[in-house]
Chains A and B, each alone.
Chain A
């Protein structure tokens, strides 16, 4: 069983530190609910684990199966078994979805899939996620609705069979039926033995899954870890009890990565700072 272990991780965007020493651990086959108010570094953590070039890891380690991922490019991290379902998946003009899926599936095989094998698994995955198969012929995420993009992320997860999958607000933009379909897929992957790190603001998704443990991230640090009962506590009481119990004041939301531009401010000057 491989472990994804984050040790004292510090990360910055445009010179401003967002993560101030994160320690966290998820084992293959285990599901962690990552909780915390908006703008406190949850998405940044997932992006750093995947190797998003917009963030700079300044200190600490991300170990997976004993290998430090911070020195690997994102494609190598993916091949090692890490997957990130993004909160805002990119729309790529002109890139056919099926071509993209074939390239990513073949990247982890010595011998490329036969056309029959490829279309077979593609058709099954589209069917499982209740996405019309015609969409495989459309440009990647281009013109997809919010819900379609999210289901498309889960579709990729099913096809790529990661060892640890990170889901960043996968439930936002999903209607009730789509939520059921997506949680069924996650359940299946859990059965297969995939580990999960799941960010969501709502207890509903977690209640549809088996969750082993929960962690709360505030001000760019993990302040509290525990069992799934934490999810219920936050769902009922919000985050204000953290201050009383742990003496941690919750900073206001950080506009991670955004320039400080408003009317009357020179946007060009801000952008070149």
Chain B
């Protein structure tokens, strides 16, 4: 198993290879700043790539992830949680290409847009002809907090093969009024109810990190950000 961890200081271009039968964990935590980034990952036969990004930065960028599942039996997961605030514009394009049979991919993106920020999740999962018995999912969910922020979730599927399983899901919306009411009816203030629901929404990203201190720092950043 190969582990690569970045706490801030992520290079703008990252080329990674997952050798046959190997697992690579890439864990990125961005607290202070993140620039335009391209991450290219090639995954060989029966190799597995786990990518995680927790982003709490306060700057604009375009973040591209291109995962190429090269050979039979390879797979990947991408989990991202991002908090966009002030006037930042954050664009995420996490994409995967299935080039061979019996592959698996899950691309999952959760975000919160506040103030006048703009948050975009627009990844593409592509299955080329012949990549049979492949299973892919692309999902994006964004909670919109304020009137002036913009959010776009557009998980795309490009499918060139019939014998596959593929799904995508997109949700963009405000906090559910009835969820807030339920919490408030138990004496919890509106502000704290919003905080609890939002925390519950982004906190699962900590499951993909192992360092306990880092997990705490992520939870603190979520709490601070909302």
B181 contact from A53, A94, A95, Cβ within 8 A: A53
Mark interface residues in A229-249 (1 if CB within 8 Å of B CB, else 0): 000000000000000000000
Chain B CB within 8 A of A120 CB? no
> What 1/0 flags go to B175-192 for Cβ under 8 Å of A?
011110111111111101
Which of A72-80, A181-189, A201-209 forms contacts with chain B? A72-80
User: B179 is contacted by which of A75, A90, A160 (Cβ under 8 Å)?
Assistant: A90
Contact with B177, one of A53, A73, A92 (Cβ below 8 angstroms): A53
Chain B residues whose CB sits within 8 angstroms of the CB of A20 once the complex forms: none
The smallest beta-carbon distance between B43 and chain A, in angstroms, is 30
Q: Are A78 and B182 in contact (CB under 8 A)?
A: no
Q: A53-B177, A54-B178, A95-B196 are in contact. Are A104 and B201 (CB under 8 A)?
A: no
Is residue A86 contacting chain B, with contact meaning CB distance below 8 A? yes
Give 1 or 0 for each of A94-111: 1 = CB within 8 Å of chain B CB. Answer: 111001100110011000
When distances are taken between beta carbons in the complex, the residues of chain B under 8 Å from A100 are: 183, 186, 188, 196
Whether A226 sits at the interface, judged by CB under 8 Å, is: no
Interfacial chain A residues near B182, Cβ < 8 Å? 86, 89-90, 92
CB of A95 within 8 A of CB of B200, answer: yes
Q: Return the contact of B186 from the options A53, A96, A107 (Cβ within 8 A).
A: A107
Chain A residues near B188 (CB-CB < 8 A)? 75, 100, 103-104, 107
B178 vs chain A, min Cβ distance (A): 5
Chain B residues with CB under 8 Å of A92's CB are: 179, 182-183, 197, 200
Measured between beta carbons, the chain A residues less than 8 angstroms from B185 are: 50-52, 74-75, 77-78, 83-84, 86
Chain A residues closer than 8 Å to B204, beta-carbon distance: 94
Query: Which A34-60 residues have a C-beta within 8 angstroms of B?
Result: 50-54
* Inter-subunit contact A93/B187 (CB<8 Å): no
For the complex, is B17 an interface residue (Cβ under 8 Å from A)? no
Q: Look across to chain B and name the residue whose beta carbon is closest to the beta carbon of A78.
A: B187
Q: Is A78 in contact with B184, judged by CB distance below 8 angstroms?
A: yes
Proximity string of chain B (186-216) to chain A, C-beta cutoff 8 Å, 1 when within and 0 when not:
1111101100110111011000000000000
Distance, CA A83 to CA B199, complexed state (A): 25
**Residues in A63-91 with C-beta less than 8 Å from chain B:** 73-75, 77-79, 83-84, 86, 89-90
A52, A74, A96, A103: residue with the most chain B Cβ atoms closer than 10 Å: A74
**Does A23 sit at the interface, judged by CB under 8 A?**
no
- CB nearest neighbor in A for B196: A95
- Would A96 and B187 count as touching, CB distance under 8 A? no
Known contacts A53-B181, A54-B177, A90-B179; is A95 also within 8 Å of B187 by CB?
A: no
Docked complex Cα distance between A107 and B183 (Å): 11
Docked complex Cα distance between A83 and B183 (Å)? 12
A156: interface (CB < 8 Å): yes
Contacts of A51 in B (CB 8 A): 181, 184-185
The verdict on A75 contacting B177 (CB below 8 Å), with A95-B200, A96-B200 known, is no
Q: How far is the CB of A150 from chain B (nearest CB, A)?
A: 14
Within 122-157 of A, Cβ neighbours of B (below 8 Å) are at 139, 156
| From B181, B184, B185, B193, residue with most partner A Cβ within 10 Å | B185
CB pair B190 A73 closer than 8 Å:
yes
Q: Give the residues in chain A near B183, CB-CB below 8 Å.
A: 92, 100, 103-104
CB-nearest residue of chain A relative to B181? A52
Q: How far is the CA of A92 from the CA of B201 in the complex (A)?
A: 9
User: Which residue of B has the minimal Cβ distance to A92?
Assistant: B179
Q: Which 9 A-B residue pairs are closest in the complex by CB-CB distance?
A: A94-B200, A104-B186, A78-B187, A107-B187, A95-B200, A74-B184, A90-B182, A75-B184, A74-B185
Chain A residues proximal to chain B, CB less than 8 Å: 50-54, 73-75, 77-79, 83-84, 86, 89-90, 92-96, 99-100, 103-104, 107-108, 139, 156, 160
